[in-house]
Amino acid sequence: MMTSANSDAWVGLLPAGGSATRLQPLPCSKEILPIGFHTAANGRRHPKAVSHYLLEQYQQAGVSKTLIILKPGKWDIPAYYKSGEWLGLDLAYLIMSDPYGTPYTLDCAYPFLGGANVLLGFPDILLHPADAFVQIRQRLGNTGADVMLGVFPVDAAQASRVDLVAWDNHRDSRRDGNAQPIQQLVIKSPNSPLRESWIIAAWRPTFTQFMHEFLASDRPHRRTQPELPELYVGDVIQAAIAAGLQVQGHYFESGEFLDVGVPGALAAAYQRFGEA
């Protein structure tokens, strides 16, 4: 059991358990679709996998290792990244088992975290600013929060696909760059007027333990009721708020993100990064 809430170690989690149903058929796993280019140590330019951007941002934020959690069959991901040595990263691979949603994918890492703090991003989302993980890691370290969410503005088209944020007491002082408490997450609601969403997260071992125990209680229901809807990470964060954990958000007022799992955004990413 994890007991330390003040670990100095940081681990990045990269969930790769999805099926990319909105993009099929694909010639490879969505996580290694080429978007733009990178320059290798020998000076040659090569196509850059979309998840490479996330790995670079983890590296910049000081993670000691990244755990990539795979759906069975997505063997092209470890075949591509291998040990991570060519990236200057330490990578390890885990195989997901319970197909009930991203929290179950992430929980596969529980036995291997060893009380480390966690950074979470999604391998098919491209972010600006590039140092967003650095900022939320610093915010978490400067507060007593259990979870620090990186919150970005969204438009009406994006709002139905994301977890929307309702700030505690509707505070506008968050816009000065300070982290602020989050009251509630509204999960993928097409009718909500809210226009800000969490896209990335940093958390302490207290939340890792909470999620593990929450899923241990949730799992038996899903095994006997397969018709239950998919569980989202936002559902677990909302349960943590209700249980009294401190969840705060750092708002990136000028932040942007592209979810390349959506065809239109994928086209926009090719246009933006194609010659980068």
| Domain encompassing residue 253 | 10-273
Per-residue pLDDT reduced to its tens digit, 21-77: 666 577 788 899 898 888 887 888 888 999 999 999 999 999 989 999 999 999 999
As a whole number, the mean pLDDT across the chain is 89
**What's residue 274's pLDDT?**
66
Quick one: CA dihedral 42, 44, 47, 51, positive or negative?
Answer: positive
**What's residue 159's pLDDT?**
86
Domain count across the chain: 1
Per-residue pLDDT reduced to its tens digit, 172-190: 545 556 789 999 999 988 8
Q: Is 13 helix (H, G, I), strand (E, B) or coil?
A: strand
Per-residue pLDDT reduced to its tens digit, 125-138: 999 999 999 999 99
Q: Is 113 helix (H, G, I), strand (E, B) or coil?
A: helix
- Residue 2 is assigned to a structural domain of this protein: no
- Residue 5 is assigned to a structural domain of this protein: no
> Which CA distances in Å does 111 have to 17, 115, 157?
18, 9, 38
- Residue 3 is assigned to a structural domain of this protein: no
State which H helix or E strand residue 77 sits in. helix 76-81
Per-residue pLDDT reduced to its tens digit, 227-250: 999 999 999 999 999 999 999 999
- Judged against a pLDDT cut of 80, whether residue 265 lies above it is answered with no
The CATH number given to whatever domain includes residue 165 is 3.90.550.10
**What's residue 173's pLDDT?**
47
- Residue 109 is assigned to a structural domain of this protein: yes
- Residue 1 is assigned to a structural domain of this protein: no
CA atoms of 161 and 173, how far apart (whole Å): 26
- Judged against a pLDDT cut of 60, whether residue 204 lies above it is answered with yes
- Residue 90 is assigned to a structural domain of this protein: yes
CA atoms of 21 and 23, how far apart (whole Å): 5
- Residue 17 is assigned to a structural domain of this protein: yes
- Residue 62 is assigned to a structural domain of this protein: yes
Per-residue pLDDT reduced to its tens digit, 206-231: 999 999 999 999 999 999 998 999 99
